[in-house]
Amino acid sequence: MTVQFLLFTHYAPLGAYGEVAVGGRRMSWTRPGRSAVVGLVACALGIERVREGEHERLERSLGYGVRTLVPGRPLIDYHTTQPPKTGKRRPRFATRREELAHPTLATVLSSREYRTDAFFTVALWERPESGAALDAVAEALRRPGFCLFAGRKSAPLGLPPGPGMVEAPTLPAAFEAREHNSVEREVLESLGWDEKTPALIACDLDAPGIPEGVREERRRDAIASRARWQFRDRDEAVFAWPHGDA
């Protein structure tokens, strides 16, 4: 029995894949999590953040897997913002000069981590209760409704996703069937990619055909409320392929 997978490239010169934020430290995972991938799909489909029902449908409908080809390198940004102390609602300013003139301007300092030149392949498949058609998602990735970015709006994708359908019996087989075009291969080679090195795969625990005895990791990246930026814990499988010690 085979499963239909949608695979696409996720590469950005600068990306951020947020861990749980604590105080002024905003660290990044080494790969995009489930909420980042489902959020990217929602962005491509033109779904605004406040349309909670459509985000919930995508969360229920899509299976998720990511293969890390090049993990990239960490980059720390010393980040400053100056939000006015005006309660819950932040006023809109036409210019930076107008904002600086606000009488209750505050300064917030934080450290934000990014990943530079990380290259991934993403796999999606439809769950039994699916309400999201993979062909519609593929078309949206080719002609996105909103600008696609890697975790933060300041980090646009460096290559088109290039979505393609694959029929395969297992998730690892689907990743193996993904063929990179000449531009993707050129970028991968420039990043020092060695296709003989086992690639790390992270995926939902119910992904088709994952090996037995793989490592499980817990991440807070299942969408609870996109509008309120709320997420819940989920467990995922992590393993190297060809299969070995992850």
Between 114 and 159, whose confidence is greater?
A: 159
Each residue's pLDDT tens digit, 211-238: 998 999 999 888 888 888 788 899 999 9
- 105 occurs within a structural domain: no
Give the domain extent around 72: 3-76+116-241
Query: What pLDDT score was predicted for residue 246?
Result: 44
- 139 occurs within a structural domain: yes
- Taking alpha carbons only, the member of 52, 68, 82, 61 closest to residue 15 is 68
- 57 occurs within a structural domain: yes
Query: What pLDDT score was predicted for residue 245?
Result: 47
Specify the number of domains making up the chain: 1
Query: What pLDDT score was predicted for residue 23?
Result: 62
User: What are the tokens at 124?
Assistant: 């999606």
- 183 occurs within a structural domain: yes
Q: What is the CATH number of the domain that holds 45?
A: 3.30.70.2660
- 86 occurs within a structural domain: no
- Of the pLDDT bands very low, low, confident and very high (cuts 50, 70, 90), residue 203 is very high
